[in-house]
Structure 1
Amino acid sequence: MNPSLSPLDWLVIGVYLVFLVLFALWLARRQRDRSDYYVGGRQIGAWPVAISVMATQCSTNSILGAPAFVAFAAGGGLVWLQYELAVPLAMVVLILAVMPLFRQLNLVSVYAYLEGRFDLRTRLLLSALFQFVRAFATAVTVFSIAIVIDLILGIGFFWSVVLLGVFTVVYDVLGGIRGVIYSDVIQMLILVAVLVLLLFLLAAEYGGISGLLDAVEPARRQALDFSHHGLGDGETFAFWPMLFGGLFLYLAYYGCDQSQVQRLLSTRDIDTTNRALLINGILRFPLVALYCLVGIGIAVYASQHAGFVPSLPLHEGEPQYNLAVPRYMIDTLPPGLVGLGLVALFAAAMSSLDSVLNSLSATTMEDFVLRFARTPPGAARELLISRLITVAWGVLTLVMSFYVGDIAPTVLEAINKIGSLANGPILAVFALGILTTRASGRGACIGLVLGIGGNAGLWLYAPGVSWLWWNVIGFGVSFAFGLLFSESTSKAPEALPQPHPLKVLAQASNLNWRWRSIVLLLWFVALFGLLALA
């Protein structure tokens, strides 16, 4: 056990974990079938869904990694905020062209759309790709977070995995998507409260936020970088790749990734879904700015406390900067609040894992089990099978986390690159279905493979190209070759009969999409102006 933690800290952590399980048990009373389990009976409001989506993306890697990037990374600083400019723009596209269609089709698995529009092969390929990438990434995430938990709590790697994984799996299995969403809301409130507290303490010591910004080196205050383009100059975090690459990445993540779309499909109607997208598009930037400002504070604190960086644990002889935030909490917070701060780190980790496990279960159930079942099981049996599949995925990812140790350091550095290999091509497959009538399943699958292959080639042979551009390049290659190979087939496929997404949206939401889109575009302009003045 870590002697830095008091019995009160351990009590806070224990009470939190037990509460999550009891809360999930209470939510489980309302579950009757797989619709309740996977999409909450489509009765969940906009605010819980929006906060849950933000919580999933605000992972432990973000809470620890982003402040470390801002404070210590070479070339780091507030340039990370450029990435967030793409979020409002992505929300506008999703409101106008994607979610109206998905909601009208009453999907549980987003990949079911691909079977109706193309064929079964396309559906299974995309679903299997999602499951493989997400399961592997989740195992690596569990590994990395367990190392952090072990270093903080001193309970050993095995028990760190058990502590994180078992409690997450239990409340996920019991609570279903409602457990995921409402626990994420609670976890987000705790996380934001702790981050605000840390920023307040750091700012109070150095004369407010303006004092922190004045004390940090000027290069780390710069939020916009127009001097590089990322197309061969070796600069990954320039403005243009972060804006356009981020736009395509967020469109793929929010619009084509089951772990995100599933919660947006859990709302009451299309108007509620779009309201959730609006809330997320506005509130995500302040959240990211909050933990980036904590990073600025940590940079100033480290520069004025010579013993801080040497106190960080070492990895291959180098300080583990990702542990700077928990190190600061343990050094400065009183007993009880240290426990609450560590609960915030648990919350960030669990909010990322729970949604992935539920979405892995949903795609397995919808795209494989039910799709190939000879006779559909009854509602009670569907619910039981759904829970058992969640348990299976939970056990699999936890077991895998013990075997990724040799490759995890490399993968952790490249985890965003791995996502960017496939994000653009996956988005292109959905775009071929929604925007064209000539594309076929065969062409879409070929385009997907070529797009991923092209990005892999850039990774291997063009390291100077920012991996953020892969999202754009992969989309373009997959879309173009998807059309090319579709048109070269002997028989043109018939498109899935569907009204235009804008017509569906206008009818369903009384034209609310107009003012929401305008608000998001104005928010983008305001954020750009704010960063330009930073």
Structure 2
Amino acid sequence: MSIIDWVVLFFTILLIIAFGLYKSKGIKNIDDYIVGNREMPWYNVGFSVMATQASAITFLSAPGLAYSSGLSFVQFYFGLPLAMIVLCITFVPIFHRLKVYTAYEFLEKRFDTNTRVLTAILFLIQRGVSTGITIFAPSIILSSILHLDVTYTTLIIGSLVILYTTWGGTKAVSYTQLLQMSIIIGALLIAGIMVIKLLPNQIGLNEALHIAGKSGKTNAIDWSFDLNNQYTVWTGLIGGFFLQLSYFGTDQSQVGRYLTGSSIRDSRMGLLMNGLLKIPMQFSILLIGILVFAYYQFHTPPLFFNNVEIDKIENSIYKEEYSQIMVKHELISQQKAVLAQQLTNALKANNEKLIESSTIELQHKNKEDSHLRKELELLLKKNNPNAELNDNNYVFLSFVTSTFPKGLIGLLIAVIFLASMGATASAINSLSSTTVIDIYKRFVNKDGSDKGYLNASRLFTFFWGIISLLVAIYASQLGNLLEAVNILGSLFYGTILGIFLVAFYFKSIGGKAAFWAAVISEIIVFSIWKADIMAYLWLNLLGCISVITIGFLLQLFSKSKISAV
């Protein structure tokens, strides 16, 4: 990166941190620290909710996922607007009326202490691990740019986020996320325009999409009903609905965002804003990945996007074999460029015969390149048995740093940092809130002072930051980070959602039945996942239905037993 890029990067990050610290001054108690004194307007709630979900993983992994697999991932979000409507009708008014700090306080009022603690622990495990992944994502950037081991860069970025979050609390998180999302949306718009401008002359957005489409990358909609297919309309509408309903309705990292709303109306408006904007935003991010794919049909792409692994192979005994592979790759790329231009001309002339032949030849060359990629992967493994072969997370980063002008590179990298800071800060803050409210204040120190609880909140924020940082160090083994986070969520969210739905709608089911139904359901979900019987999004539906069904049967059995006595 140039000096200008470094200046832009550091200035943007320092601006966010300074703004957050300024807005968080005067925090005196846990009401300020955990729920921001419940005074945020609807647009602040909306941007905060969006920023919490749109982590650095979104901006790193999504374009890479689109580059390799197409637009199908957008279907993952189809259930989101429906989930927002349900939340606005049910969850929001209940949480506001009870004046809770965390979502899990409600469960003790409805069931018992055991169910509250179990649900809080499930959340702490899931969110603690996934927060580690969100810390790891931006560390990839520094690793690639500075050619440092990813472990060191993980420690650098993680420490920065932990210190900022420990001091700032929810008020700082919410205000900084408002500024972060404004910068992020603007930078993404610029990035999309830049990708189109970098395409060859006479190749615009329409032509680029046609080329990507002929290569099978614009597969945004899949109506098939296949339990093993990760991304279809049905997995998004049904499995995605239950995942989003659980995430936004029961995950404290999100519940804590709209608990800061100054009224039920402000919280509802913020959630509806998220429901309306999330799918277009995610589609735009994936579209950038598609355009990057089209760009590389006319230019030679890296055969492997992780520069750290490439540096290792270039300085090894296998460098000659690597060079031979790259010579073949360069030749294929040149041939692809000719075919892509030929296909573009055929599309403009509406020459169906030439379109078909050009498409087949271009697809054939892409397959040849894929075979070369397999050869390189084998070579990378020979050189380093622990080499990570999934490089989706590096695709967009590599493209930006190699093609964008000075200054804009720094801004785009700053966007990824800002997204990580927003998502990580709210996650660590929610882990601390749950620990303090649902465990420490409930069982350890019931009659503490405001100052004592504030100090405990900061201490647990720091503690969970360290735990998340340790998880982040091992996150490189998880493949595509976006999928890893969603798979992890699907293992827990269905069960947690089931508990809350039982609490809201099944008044006949008591605490003991709900507790054991949750334990049994979690065992079922993990067993199904390990057996690889269905796509992970369906696990959300499975967990939810299992809790409700098993809870009903256990309660029925309990009543029958009492009647028999």
Q: Do Structure 1 and Structure 2 share a fold, with TM-score over 0.5?
A: yes
What is aligned with 1:367?
438
Between 215-224 and 252-261, the greater mean CA deviation after superposition: 215-224
After TM superposition, give the deviation of residue 309 of structure 1 in Å: 3.8
Contact 1:172 / 1:180 at 8 angstroms: preserved in 2? yes
**Are residues 1:221 and 2:218 paired?**
yes
Cα distance change of structure 1 residues 374 and 171 upon mapping to structure 2, 3 Å threshold: closer
Between 54-63 and 369-378, the greater mean CA deviation after superposition: 369-378
**Are residues 1:28 and 2:24 paired?**
yes
CA distance in 1, matches of 2:130, 2:77: 22
Deviations 1:280-318 (CA, angstroms, capped at 9, x unpaired)? 111111211110110111110122212444565348544
**Are residues 1:349 and 2:420 paired?**
yes
CA distance in 2, matches of 1:375, 1:92: 36
**Are residues 1:466 and 2:535 paired?**
yes
After TM superposition, give the deviation of residue 146 of structure 1 in Å: 2.1
CA distance in 2, matches of 1:16, 1:475: 42
CA distance in 1, matches of 2:505, 2:177: 34
Between 308-317 and 350-359, the greater mean CA deviation after superposition: 308-317
What is aligned with 2:454?
383
What is aligned with 1:516?
none
Of 2, 11, 14, 1:15 maps to: 11
What is aligned with 1:483?
552
CA distance in 2, matches of 1:131, 1:204: 45
After TM superposition, give the deviation of residue 411 of structure 1 in Å: 8.4
Code of the aligned partner of 1:100? P
CA distance in 2, matches of 1:471, 1:440: 22
After TM superposition, give the deviation of residue 30 of structure 1 in Å: 3.1
After TM superposition, give the deviation of residue 450 of structure 1 in Å: 2.1
Cα distance change of structure 1 residues 67 and 34 upon mapping to structure 2, 3 Å threshold: same
Deviations 1:335-383 (CA, angstroms, capped at 9, x unpaired)? 2221111101111211221111000010011011111245522222322
Cα distance change of structure 1 residues 23 and 111 upon mapping to structure 2, 3 Å threshold: same
After TM superposition, give the deviation of residue 114 of structure 1 in Å: 0.4
Between 252-261 and 169-178, the greater mean CA deviation after superposition: 169-178
% identical equivalent positions: 30
The higher radius of gyration belongs to 2
After TM superposition, give the deviation of residue 262 of structure 1 in Å: 0.7
Code of the aligned partner of 1:201? M
After TM superposition, give the deviation of residue 144 of structure 1 in Å: 4.4
Of 27, 37, 44, 1:41 maps to: 37
SS state at 2:183 partner: helix
Cα distance change of structure 1 residues 28 and 435 upon mapping to structure 2, 3 Å threshold: same
Of 85, 89, 102, 1:96 maps to: 89
CA distance in 2, matches of 1:492, 1:51: 51
Code of the aligned partner of 2:404? L
Contact 2:122 / 2:492 at 8 angstroms: preserved in 1? no
Contact 1:33 / 1:380 at 8 angstroms: preserved in 2? yes
CA distance in 1, matches of 2:89, 2:263: 15
Contact 2:64 / 2:392 at 8 angstroms: preserved in 1? yes
**Are residues 1:167 and 2:160 paired?**
yes
After TM superposition, give the deviation of residue 165 of structure 1 in Å: 1.5
After TM superposition, give the deviation of residue 407 of structure 1 in Å: 4.9
What is aligned with 2:500?
430
After TM superposition, give the deviation of residue 55 of structure 1 in Å: 1.3
**Are residues 1:320 and 2:410 paired?**
no
Code of the aligned partner of 2:545? G
After TM superposition, give the deviation of residue 410 of structure 1 in Å: 9.1
After TM superposition, give the deviation of residue 78 of structure 1 in Å: 1.8
CA distance in 2, matches of 1:441, 1:92: 27
Contact 2:81 / 2:276 at 8 angstroms: preserved in 1? yes
Contact 1:59 / 1:349 at 8 angstroms: preserved in 2? yes
CA distance in 2, matches of 1:35, 1:492: 45
> Where do 5+ consecutive residues of structure 2 fail to align?
311-376, 381-388
CA distance in 2, matches of 1:258, 1:277: 15
**Are residues 1:394 and 2:465 paired?**
yes
1:252-271 matched pairs, under 5 angstroms: 252-271=246-265
Superposed CA RMSD = 2.3
Deviations 1:139-176 (CA, angstroms, capped at 9, x unpaired)? 23333442343113334434412331122122212221
Contact 1:425 / 1:479 at 8 angstroms: preserved in 2? no
CA distance in 1, matches of 2:151, 2:304: 27
CA distance in 1, matches of 2:390, 2:521: 38
1:260-299 matched pairs, under 5 angstroms: 260-299=254-293
Between 339-348 and 449-458, the greater mean CA deviation after superposition: 449-458
Code of the aligned partner of 2:128? A
Tell me the TM-score normalised to structure 2 length: 0.80
After TM superposition, give the deviation of residue 101 of structure 1 in Å: 0.8
What is aligned with 1:54?
50
Deviations 1:381-439 (CA, angstroms, capped at 9, x unpaired)? 3222211221121123223433x268544988644222212211110100001001111
SS state at 1:224 partner: coil
Question: Which 4+ runs in 1 deviate beyond 6 A?
Answer: none
Cα distance change of structure 1 residues 310 and 416 upon mapping to structure 2, 3 Å threshold: closer
Between 269-278 and 212-221, the greater mean CA deviation after superposition: 212-221
SS state at 1:216 partner: helix
Of 454, 457, 463, 2:527 maps to: 457
**Are residues 1:242 and 2:236 paired?**
yes
After TM superposition, give the deviation of residue 118 of structure 1 in Å: 0.2
Contact 2:392 / 2:480 at 8 angstroms: preserved in 1? no
Contact 1:152 / 1:326 at 8 angstroms: preserved in 2? no
Code of the aligned partner of 2:429? N
What is aligned with 1:202?
195
What is aligned with 1:525?
none
Deviations 1:19-76 (CA, angstroms, capped at 9, x unpaired)? 333223212323121001110000011111111111121122221211111111xxx2
Between 304-313 and 77-86, the greater mean CA deviation after superposition: 304-313
What is aligned with 2:515?
445
Between 171-180 and 117-126, the greater mean CA deviation after superposition: 171-180
CA distance in 1, matches of 2:16, 2:106: 34
Between 428-437 and 60-69, the greater mean CA deviation after superposition: 60-69
Deviations 1:55-108 (CA, angstroms, capped at 9, x unpaired)? 121122221211111111xxx222222222211111111111211111100010
Tell me the TM-score normalised to structure 1 length: 0.85
**Are residues 1:191 and 2:181 paired?**
no
After TM superposition, give the deviation of residue 443 of structure 1 in Å: 1.2
CA distance in 2, matches of 1:141, 1:29: 27
Contact 1:108 / 1:262 at 8 angstroms: preserved in 2? yes
Contact 1:67 / 1:294 at 8 angstroms: preserved in 2? yes
1:70-109 matched pairs, under 5 angstroms: 70-72=66-68, 76-109=69-102
Code of the aligned partner of 2:516? I
CA distance in 2, matches of 1:155, 1:49: 37
SS state at 1:303 partner: coil
CA distance in 2, matches of 1:399, 1:238: 35
Cα distance change of structure 1 residues 20 and 156 upon mapping to structure 2, 3 Å threshold: farther
Contact 1:111 / 1:367 at 8 angstroms: preserved in 2? yes
What is aligned with 2:2?
6
> Where do 5+ consecutive residues of structure 1 fail to align?
494-534
Code of the aligned partner of 1:199? G
CA distance in 2, matches of 1:155, 1:323: 15
Between 363-372 and 308-317, the greater mean CA deviation after superposition: 308-317
